C-alpha cells in the first residue's frame, strides 16, 4: 500500500509550529493534511530535537558546503600569505633608493 506523497519540509515546519503554538490540535492537523498522528508526532519530536534542520533532514553542511568551506579556508590562508609577503616587500623597498629623476 502506497501512502500519500511526502510533504515539503516547510509544510511540516508550519504544521509543527501551529501545533506547538496551540493554533490547532494534532487531530486537526492530521485531518487537514491527511497524514497519520504518528507522522505529526515524529515531525514534532524531530523539530524539538533539531529545530528546522531536523525536518529538512540535514544535520550539518552538505558535501558541497563542506567543499566550499575548505576552499574559503585555503583562499584565506593564501590571501594572508600574500599580504605578509607584500608587507615584507614594502619594508625592504623603503630602505632602497628609487630611480633618480635626473637620470632620465
Mean pLDDT to the nearest integer, 32-61: 79
- DSSP secondary structure string, 53-73? HHHHT-SS--HHHHHHHHHHH
Residue 28 has pLDDT above 80, yes or no: yes
Q: What is the pLDDT of residue 9?
A: 82
44: nearest Cα among 79, 80, 35, 78: 35
Domains of the chain by residue range:
9-56, 61-95
Element spanning 10, H or E: helix 9-20
- Given pLDDT bands bounded at 50, 70 and 90, which one contains residue 53? low
Mean pLDDT to the nearest integer, 27-53: 86
Amino acid at each position: 500500500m502506497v501512502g500519500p506523497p511526502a510533504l515539503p519540509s516547510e509544510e511540516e515546519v508550519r504544521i509543527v509550529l501551529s501545533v506547538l503554538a496551540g493554533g490547532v490540535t494534532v487531530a486537526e492537523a492530521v485531518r487537514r493534511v491527511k497524514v497519520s498522528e504518528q507522522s505529526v508526532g515524529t515531525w514534532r519530536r524531530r523539530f524539538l530535537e533539531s529545530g528546522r534542520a531536523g525536518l529538512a533532514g540535514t544535520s550539518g553542511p552538505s558535501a558541497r558546503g563542506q567543499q566550499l568551506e575548505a576552499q574559503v579556508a585555503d583562499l584565506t590562508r593564501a590571501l594572508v600569505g600574500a599580504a605578509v609577503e607584500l608587507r615584507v616587500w614594502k619594508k625592504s623597498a623603503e630602505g632602497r633608493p628609487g630611480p633618480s629623476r635626473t637620470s632620465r
